[in-house]
Amino acid sequence: MNEKYSGIYQDMVEQLGEEITVQIFNVYKGQQITFPMRFYSQEYVITYLKENYNGENIQELSRELGYTSNWLQKLIRKNIKNNK
C-alpha cells in the first residue's frame, strides 16, 4: 500500500484510512486547501471558557484548546467578566 498513493495521500491513508481519503479526494480534488491554526470557533471557545474557566486554569485551557493564554485572556475580559 505504501506505493499505491502519491505524497500527502499516502499520509492521509495512514492517518484516516483509505475510504475517508478517497472521499476527501473526490470532493476536493484540484483544490488547494489550507487548514487554519484556529480549529474552534470564537463562539465555542467563549462558551467553553464560561463553563470551564475558574480564574486559575488559563494555562490548562490554553493547552486543551490550542490557543495562546493571551488570546484566551482577551476573550475572558471582553466576554466573561463583563457578563458576570
- Grid cell digits, residue 63: 493547552
Per-residue pLDDT, 1? 47
The one-letter amino acid at 8: I
Percent of the chain at pLDDT > 70 equals 93
How do residues 26-41 score in pLDDT, each as one tens digit? Answer: 999 999 999 888 889 9
Q: Could you tell me the pLDDT band of residue 82, with boundaries at 50, 70 and 90? A: low
The half-sphere exposure of 66 on its side-chain side, counting CA atoms within 13 A, is: 8
